[in-house]
Structure 1
Amino acid sequence: MSEEVIIGREAGGSVSLASAFPRYEQTFPTLTMQEIARMRRFGEDRNYHHGEALFETGKVGPGMFVVLSGHVAITQRDGFGRITPVIDQGPGQFLAEIGQLSARPALVDGHAEGDVQTLLIPPERLRALMVAEADLGERIMRALILRRVSLIRGGAGGPVLIGPANSAGVVRLQGFLTRNGYPHHLLCPHADADAAEVIARYSPSPADLPLVVTPDGKVLRNPRESELARAIGMVRAVPKDKVYDVVVVGSGPAGMSTAVYAASEGLAVAVCDTRAFGGQAGASARIENYLGFPTGISGHALMARAFNQAQKFGAEIMIPVEVKSLDCSRADGAFGLVLDNGEVVRARSVVVASGARYRRPEIESLADFEGRGVWYWASPIEARLCTEQEVVLVGGGNSAGQAAVFLSGHASRVRMVIRGGGLGASMSRYLIERIEASANIELIFNAEVTGLEGATEGALERVRWRSRLSPEESRFVASNLFLFVGADPATGWLEGCGVKVDRAGFVITGAPNGAASPASTLETSVPGVFAVGDVRSGSVKRVGGAIGEGAQVVAALHGYLNDSARPSL
Structure 2
Amino acid sequence: MSQPILLTVDDDPAVSRSVARDLRRRYGKDYRIIRADSGADALDALREIKLRGDAVAAILADYRMPQMDGIVFLEKAMDLFPNARRALLTAYADTDAAIQAINVVDVDHYLLKPWDPPEEKLYPVVDALVETWRAVGERPVDEIKLIGHRYSSPSFHLRDFLARNAVPYRWYSVDDDEGRRILEAADAAPHDIPVLVTPGGTVLRQPSGPELADAVGLSTRPTQEFYDLIVIGGGPAGLGAAVYGASEGLRTVIVERKATGGQAGTSSRIENYLGFPDGVSGAQLTDRARRQALKFGAEVLTARDVVGLEARGSARVVMFGDGTEISAHSVVLASGVTYRALEAPGVAELAGRGVYYGSAATEAPECKGEHVYIVGGANSAGQAAVFFSKHAADVTILVRGQSLEASMSHYLIEQIAGIGNIHVRTRTTVVEAHGDDHLERLTLCENGGATETVPTGHLFIFIGAAPRTDWLGTEIQRDDHGFVRTGPDLLTDGGPPPGWPLDRDPHYLESSIPGVFVAGDVRAASVKRVASAVGEGAMAVTLVHRYLEEQ
- Name the TM-score, length of structure 1 as normaliser: 0.70
**Which residue, out of 381, 401, 404, partners 1:423?**
404
Task: Indicate yes or no: 2:206 matched with 1:172.
Answer: no
Mapped to 2, the partners of 1:354 and 1:479 lie a distance apart of: 31
Aligned to 1:212: 196
Cα offsets for 1:288-344 (capped at 9, x unmatched): 00011010000010000000000000101011101001122x14x311111111110
Aligned to 2:527: 540
Aligned to 1:103: none
Paired residues for 1:338-417 under 5 Å: 338-417=319-398
Paired residue secondary structure (1:282): helix
Q: Which amino acid aligns with 1:314?
A: G
Residues 231 and 255, structure 2, Cα contact 8 Å, conserved in 1: yes
Long gaps (5+) in structure 2: 6-48, 61-124, 497-503
Mapped to 1, the partners of 2:131 and 2:403 lie a distance apart of: 46
Task: Indicate yes or no: 2:493 matched with 1:510.
Answer: no
Comparing 432-441 and 552-561, the one that deviates more: 432-441
**Residues 283, 309 of structure 1: alpha-carbon distance in 2 compared, 3 angstrom cutoff:** same
Aligned to 1:481: 459
Task: Indicate yes or no: 2:271 matched with 1:288.
Answer: yes
Mapped to 1, the partners of 2:55 and 2:230 lie a distance apart of: 39
Mapped to 2, the partners of 1:494 and 1:22 lie a distance apart of: 49
**Residues 197, 205 of structure 1: alpha-carbon distance in 2 compared, 3 angstrom cutoff:** closer
Q: Which amino acid aligns with 1:405?
A: V
Mapped to 2, the partners of 1:309 and 1:514 lie a distance apart of: 40
Residues 272 and 318, structure 1, Cα contact 8 Å, conserved in 2: yes
**Residues 147, 210 of structure 1: alpha-carbon distance in 2 compared, 3 angstrom cutoff:** farther
**Residues 288, 143 of structure 1: alpha-carbon distance in 2 compared, 3 angstrom cutoff:** closer
Residues 160 and 362, structure 2, Cα contact 8 Å, conserved in 1: yes
Paired residue secondary structure (2:300): strand
Mapped to 1, the partners of 2:470 and 2:461 lie a distance apart of: 22
Residues 254 and 546, structure 1, Cα contact 8 Å, conserved in 2: yes
Residues 221 and 301, structure 2, Cα contact 8 Å, conserved in 1: no
Mapped to 1, the partners of 2:143 and 2:254 lie a distance apart of: 23
Aligned to 2:79: none
Structure 1 residue 186: Cα displacement: 2.7
**Residues 139, 413 of structure 1: alpha-carbon distance in 2 compared, 3 angstrom cutoff:** closer
**Residues 286, 449 of structure 1: alpha-carbon distance in 2 compared, 3 angstrom cutoff:** same
Mapped to 1, the partners of 2:480 and 2:470 lie a distance apart of: 13
Paired residue secondary structure (2:445): strand
Long gaps (5+) in structure 1: 6-14, 27-137, 565-569
Paired residue secondary structure (1:306): helix
**Residues 453, 357 of structure 1: alpha-carbon distance in 2 compared, 3 angstrom cutoff:** same
**Which residue, out of 256, 260, 264, partners 2:239?**
256
Task: Indicate yes or no: 2:171 matched with 1:186.
Answer: yes
**Which residue, out of 528, 541, 544, partners 1:554?**
541
Paired residue secondary structure (2:508): helix
Q: Which amino acid aligns with 1:521?
A: Y
Paired residue secondary structure (2:521): helix
Mapped to 2, the partners of 1:169 and 1:17 lie a distance apart of: 39
- The root-mean-square deviation of aligned C-alpha atoms, in Å, is 3.0
How many residues matched? Answer: 432
Task: Indicate yes or no: 2:413 matched with 1:435.
Answer: no
Mapped to 2, the partners of 1:223 and 1:309 lie a distance apart of: 30
Mapped to 1, the partners of 2:427 and 2:339 lie a distance apart of: 22
Mapped to 2, the partners of 1:463 and 1:264 lie a distance apart of: 50
Aligned to 2:225: 242
Mapped to 1, the partners of 2:469 and 2:193 lie a distance apart of: 33
Q: Which amino acid aligns with 1:469?
A: G
Mapped to 2, the partners of 1:21 and 1:408 lie a distance apart of: 32
**Residues 265, 244 of structure 1: alpha-carbon distance in 2 compared, 3 angstrom cutoff:** same
Residues 285 and 379, structure 1, Cα contact 8 Å, conserved in 2: no
**Residues 484, 188 of structure 1: alpha-carbon distance in 2 compared, 3 angstrom cutoff:** closer
Paired residue secondary structure (1:378): coil
Paired residue secondary structure (1:533): coil
Cα offsets for 1:191-239 (capped at 9, x unmatched): 776x544322456444422321113321112323222112233234334
Residues 519 and 555, structure 1, Cα contact 8 Å, conserved in 2: no
Aligned to 1:10: none
Cα offsets for 1:107-132 (capped at 9, x unmatched): xxxxxxxxxxxxxxxxxxxxxxxxxx
Mapped to 2, the partners of 1:478 and 1:151 lie a distance apart of: 38
Cα offsets for 1:84-113 (capped at 9, x unmatched): xxxxxxxxxxxxxxxxxxxxxxxxxxxxxx
Mapped to 2, the partners of 1:294 and 1:440 lie a distance apart of: 25
**Residues 454, 187 of structure 1: alpha-carbon distance in 2 compared, 3 angstrom cutoff:** closer
Task: Indicate yes or no: 2:57 matched with 1:23.
Answer: yes
